[in-house]
Structure 1
Amino acid sequence: MRGIRGRSAVALVALTLGLVALEDPAPPLPSTFVPTAALEVSCEACLLVGPDGEVLFERAAGEALPNASTTKIVTALVLRRSALPLGSTVEVSANAANAGGGGVDLQAGQSFVARDLLYAALMTSSNDAAVALAEAASGSEAAFVDEMNALAAELGATDSLFVTPHGLDRPGHVSSAADLALLGDALLDDPLLARIVATETYEIPRPDGPISLENRNLLLGSYPGAIGIKTGSTLGAGEALVAAAERRGVRLIAVVLRSTDAASDATALLNRGFKRLRPTTLIGAGERLGTLFFPAGSSTGVIAAEDVGGLADQSTLAVEFLVRRDLTAPLEAGEVVGRLVISAGNERIARVKALAADTVEVPGTSATGRFLAGFIRSVAGLIGRG
């Protein structure tokens, strides 16, 4: 059957007098999904991605825009692929020190552990730390940027072009919400990087006293389930944020570009996603889903034998009815007439028994009856994959 749109139930295939017809849709199934409410966000471009990359909300998601310090997601990914040990010492060059900004004022000639600079780059958006790491990993900032662009292309981030490892406004330095969702997902797949972006506070030990870092991601510690990822802000990019949260094993990624309030926009996106994907009854036991006709003119309603619940975007649901090969009348109410296969996207959620809702007394045991029952099954199998 075709996927349910706007949460309408799918009618079962109905045959009578040798003609195939789809029954009028049944009333909507019980649900907590509210698909029509407008989402008020200020972002010029934004995206909400659910499990398996499913797009739950988008606005200009493929538009290439300045993306500020969300760039450092790629900086961190390239660094992790480099040969630079995170325990090694990195000396800050004059070029790195001149980058400035981001909460850690590095001075030329200072030395830091690479791991500490990575924390500074991801937590406080330290631009000088990003450049120092790039030079240490690849020999020069330009060579490192080439590796950033190569990695982005490899991961499928085709809207992006990076000019620096820090993300300050530069002509041609752009990414898109769609690309940043891909790149953010890749970062979260690295256990160390995932731990860093989820860290709220960190101290870098120094001979003259520790440097305290505080994560600039306002969702950490305030939004239930927040797990990172990266903030950003420049005049050209406005406020930018790639934010992730996880609840009940379901991870969502929200990307916000050119926003006036990135934390608020990301919160609204994540709230929409978790509301849309929260567990609910998809099909109720005993719920009448359609009608099965027999050639003699008799028919029975078809119901699910048990509740089907799940965590799914209910606008993607599809129900497939597989009739019993040997199905004939008469039938008693409650007798098994086949199976219901419930799917969301490419994932099968459940397979449950389909029962006759009514007693069918008129016999239908002829060869024609058995042929029609088999035909119902083949048609249902074809239509149900839509």
Structure 2
Amino acid sequence: MKKNNYSHRHSKVVPRCGPLVPEGGNLYRSLINIFSLIGICLFFILSPVIGKVPGFSKPVVKASFVSENKLPMLTGSGAPEITAQGVFVMDMDSGTILFDKNPHLLLKPASLTKIMTSLIAMDYYQDDSILKVVNGQSSLGNTADLIKGDELTASNVFYALLVPSGNDAAVTLAENYPGGYRTFLEKMNQKVTDLGLRNTHFANVSGVESPNHYTTAYDIAMIARNALTRQRFASIVSTKNITIQSLKGHNYSLSSTNILLGKPGILGVKTGWTPESGECLVLLVERDGHKVLISLLDSKDRFGEGDKLIKWVYDNYTWQ
């Protein structure tokens, strides 16, 4: 049989780290060779620890969902018919996908945008930071009826942003940010990249219609999942009604746009609607200790379909 000289020849390229004994000649030169080979060996052994080899781009590995809890198993019937163009349903603890429909289809998020708006704002502002209302009631779309020139704590502006879905609150958070509106918007899109999401881009901070403003059912669910790790966010999006007061003494009565709040197990999160986006909804629900996150984009009946999916999940999945 013919020997494979190719593999034998190339096996010599791999540096060896075993003991080397001089066969003669200059002892000083031999010692230099020994220490050089030791250095090469240490480089190959330690390079994954101390840095990257030049020219090598290490793939980004995103953290996966790890859970010690029981995993959901489908034991009943298939999912119901849903009109929403994009749907994503996930077990929060394990990250198990319970149902999806066009999860990566580019769609308009409308006011679901404000989930990301709140992420950037909460990462910067303290609850007691003082913000001046910029556009107030002149803002486009849905507002919290904030009065231009009024002053509120950041905490109260968060409520105005997420409970009644105030575009005026979104603009106020962005305009008071260092660098202003443009910098705030850049931070929103940078956060998308930081989260490893590839199918979302924000062209404004409130969700008003814009050609280059889009997300997917999967992406917006991941953004919401990240936001829900913040206690401030989780508390606010579970609020059905609240009255806040400005530093100038103006009272603002705020009511949630999420009509499912108050039903057993509903913990939030956010609604959205424009003529172009259709009805949008992200929901967090918990029953029997199991939390499920639902996102619906471009639905004909977001609350009805959200309710339908909740019932289907808990009727047809068991956690084992």
Scaled to the shorter chain, the TM-score interval is: 0.7 to 0.9
Measure how far apart 1:165 and its partner are.
0.9
Q: What is the CA deviation profile of residues 225-261 of structure 1, one whole-angstrom value per residue up to 9, with x for unaligned ones?
A: 1100110000111110000101222110110010111
* 2:110 match: 68
Letter in 1 for 2:116: V
What is the count of residue pairs matched by the alignment? 246
Measure how far apart 1:60 and its partner are.
0.6
Letter in 1 for 2:162: L
Q: Please identify which structure carries the higher strand content.
A: 1
* 1:58 match: 100
Which deviates more from structure 2 when the two are superposed, residues 99-108 or residues 123-132?
99-108
Letter in 2 for 1:261: D
Q: Distance in 1 between matches of 2:117 and 2:74?
A: 40
Kept in 2, the 8 Å contact 1:68–1:169? The answer is yes
Pairing 1:41–2:87 present:
no
Letter in 1 for 2:84: C
Letter in 1 for 2:108: P
* 1:231 match: 271
Q: Percent identity?
A: 30
Kept in 1, the 8 Å contact 2:152–2:245? The answer is no
Q: Please identify which structure carries the higher helix content.
A: 2
Which deviates more from structure 2 when the two are superposed, residues 103-112 or residues 265-274?
103-112
Cα RMSD of the aligned pairs, angstroms, is: 1.8
Q: What is the CA deviation profile of residues 40-60 of structure 1, one whole-angstrom value per residue up to 9, with x for unaligned ones?
A: 222111111113221111111
Kept in 1, the 8 Å contact 2:201–2:215? The answer is yes
Q: Distance in 2 between matches of 1:209 and 1:105?
A: 11
Measure how far apart 1:35 and its partner are.
2.9
Moved over 6 A (4+): none
SS, match of residue 233 in structure 1: strand
Structure 1, gaps ≥5 residues long: 1-30, 279-310, 313-386
Kept in 1, the 8 Å contact 2:137–2:143? The answer is no
Q: Distance in 2 between matches of 1:108 and 1:202?
A: 21
Q: How does 1:104-143 map to 2 (within 5 A)?
A: 104-143=144-183
Q: Distance in 2 between matches of 1:214 and 1:112?
A: 18
TM-aligned CA distance change 1:249 to 1:107, over 3 Å: same
Q: Distance in 2 between matches of 1:187 and 1:59?
A: 23
SS, match of residue 148 in structure 1: helix
Q: Distance in 2 between matches of 1:99 and 1:242?
A: 24
Structure 2, gaps ≥5 residues long: 1-72
SS, match of residue 53 in structure 1: coil
Kept in 1, the 8 Å contact 2:163–2:257? The answer is yes
Q: What is the CA deviation profile of residues 103-139 of structure 1, one whole-angstrom value per residue up to 9, with x for unaligned ones?
A: 4122322212211111011111100101101121233
State TM-score, norm by structure 1: 0.61
Pairing 1:264–2:264 present:
no
Letter in 1 for 2:201: L
State TM-score, norm by structure 2: 0.73
Kept in 1, the 8 Å contact 2:140–2:208? The answer is no
Measure how far apart 1:98 and its partner are.
3.4
Letter in 1 for 2:232: L
* 2:224 match: 184
Which residue of the other structure, out of 99, 121, 124, is the alignment partner of 1:79?
121
TM-aligned CA distance change 1:235 to 1:32, over 3 Å: closer
Which residue of the other structure, out of 112, 120, 130, is the alignment partner of 1:89?
130
Pairing 1:145–2:192 present:
no
SS, match of residue 176 in structure 2: helix
Letter in 1 for 2:133: V
TM-aligned CA distance change 1:272 to 1:138, over 3 Å: farther
Q: Distance in 1 between matches of 2:171 and 2:74?
A: 48
SS, match of residue 268 in structure 1: helix
* 2:47 match: none
Q: Distance in 2 between matches of 1:253 and 1:54?
A: 11
Which deviates more from structure 2 when the two are superposed, residues 47-56 or residues 144-153?
47-56
Q: Distance in 2 between matches of 1:107 and 1:32?
A: 51
Kept in 1, the 8 Å contact 2:143–2:168? The answer is no
TM-aligned CA distance change 1:254 to 1:174, over 3 Å: same
Q: Distance in 1 between matches of 2:146 and 2:186?
A: 24
Kept in 2, the 8 Å contact 1:194–1:228? The answer is yes
Measure how far apart 1:205 and its partner are.
1.6
